[in-house]
Amino acid sequence: MKSKNRRTFLRILLAGIAFFFVLIWNKLTFNHLEIIQKEESLLPLNKNKTVSFYKNYIVVTRNDKTNVFSAYCTHLGCRIGNIEMGKIVCPCHGSEYDLDGKVIKGPAFKNLESVPFRITPDGNHIEITA
């Protein structure tokens, strides 16, 4: 009887710990748009390059469509500045993202954060509007 109570207590304790972990997981992972400073709000638009890396942003231009992502990995916040075999790769723990910012290999499980922007009327720059 005593052993059964102990097992029940341990199960409830483990379930509580798991529940707590799930609740705070989003808080533990970085919200990169909150930490990006607006210091880099006008970027040159290089139409001849599919992926351009800037201090805080990654610009992907293909098929006449441009996307801007945070340059910070959604795992633990390392700055990403590398593309390998057509994949955006985090240098810290190897998370990989496709050119749409979607996670294709962990440990990150969240997609790269999209950054709102507009292309300037002259078509030569990207203005970050976040």
CA angle centred on 73, ends 53 and 68, rounded to 5°: 45
Q: What is the dihedral of CA 63, 98, 113, 23, to 10 degrees?
A: 150
Position 90 contacts ligand FES (CB under 6 A): yes
Candidate list 92, 100, 125, 130; residue touching ligand FES; CB under 6 A: 92
Coil, strand, or helix at residue 28?
helix
- Interface with ligand FES: number of residues (CB under 6 A): 11
User: Which H or E run includes 98?
Assistant: none
Position 105 contacts ligand FES (CB under 6 A): no
**Minimal distance, residue 83 CB to ligand FES, in Å:** 14
C-beta closer to ligand FES: residue 33 or 66: 33
Candidate list 54, 79, 107, 125; residue touching ligand FES; CB under 6 A: 107
Position 81 contacts ligand FES (CB under 6 A): no
Q: Which pair of structure tokens corresponds to residue 76?
A: 């633990």
